[in-house]
Structure 1
């Protein structure tokens, strides 16, 4: 197949809506904008939450409480079974090694190891957090779980 042989799939291309071309076309007179007023004008739109000058509901209600969204710490999650599937040459595991192996994204630095699966290799694992089961399985296999 060559570039000049490419065709759109049926239904991908629609004809342009021609507004203001008479009542028979279905989009005549007001051109689909309804009646008069602000929203019928070019560039006329009101922002979300605007209530025509009345005090908006979101300003009437009290704002109390705490939102932790900006202060949260998110962890990249890796299971013990993922550690068992690493290359045989790997003996020390940290965030950089996991990123190189494709288990986490390169920009993720905080890693939490969870205990799903089994491991029989001796690994020295450095991570921000470990679940109790993961730490037990790594140490049972003869490895080390280091919190960094």
Structure 2
């Protein structure tokens, strides 16, 4: 056929084939149109009257008719339901190995036997109070304990432990607590801290409160501090 019509004939048939392809694709000969990208959210109903079809309060927004925004709730992945589904054969666990077995293969924070990160890092400052807290802890001495002392005695926490009036504490500092009546008079009480009620009770009984240094344990002259 090409030999019969010549070179011009073959060019004519090629042009006809190109025109037929353009018509099939675009609907018009010689016109090519770009397809605009679609922003449609699949598998969701349109918001509006269609979303409230079958509801008693159709068209009214209320607590019982509020629906999630399109695309805000993702569907759960169905695993083990065929290779074409994407998670069908091994369900994302691979072929073999520890992490492919049933149950939890390792505990949280496990790093294969080496010291994990949560144990390598230092602890918070001020434990057990929490990060950054530096609360001072005291051995508490109540006024009921001071009532067991003799009049005019010099009282310290170590002296109370040695005399058997108190048991040994786990802190280095001692604090005198109030909240009771002091019957023993003229006591000289030495401690690292006093409550205001304890100071009033000791001084009302003719006693004296001596503040000790938390570092050296020596007496602190309160007049010099003032």
Q: TM-score, normalised by structure 1?
A: 0.51
Q: Is the 8 A contact 2:152 2:188 kept in 1?
A: no
Which structure 2 segments of 5+ residues have no match?
1-97, 99-105, 129-133, 213-226
- 1:77 aligns with 140
Matched, 1:129 2:187: no
- 2:126 aligns with 68
| Mapped partners of 1:100, 1:89: distance in 2 | 18
Q: Provide the secondary structure at the position in 2 that maps to 1:69.
A: coil
Greater RCO, 1 or 2 (C-alpha within 8 Å, sep 6+): 1
- 1:97 aligns with 159
In the TM superposition, structure 1's runs of 4+ consecutive aligned residues that sit over 3 Å from their partners are: 70-73, 106-109
Shift of 1:107: 6.2
Q: TM-score, normalised by structure 2?
A: 0.35
Number of residue pairs the alignment of both structures matches: 97
RMSD: 3.7
- Of structures 1 and 2, the larger Rg is shown by 2
Which structure 1 segments of 5+ residues have no match?
1-36, 38-45
Q: Is the 8 A contact 2:144 2:182 kept in 1?
A: yes
Higher normalized strand content (fraction of residues): 1
What are the residue-to-residue correspondences of 1:1-148 with 2, within 5 Å?
Answer: 49-50=109-110, 67-69=125-127, 72-86=135-149, 88=150, 91-102=153-164, 103-105=166-168, 108-121=171-184, 122-148=186-212
Q: Provide the secondary structure at the position in 2 that maps to 1:125.
A: strand
- 1:15 aligns with none
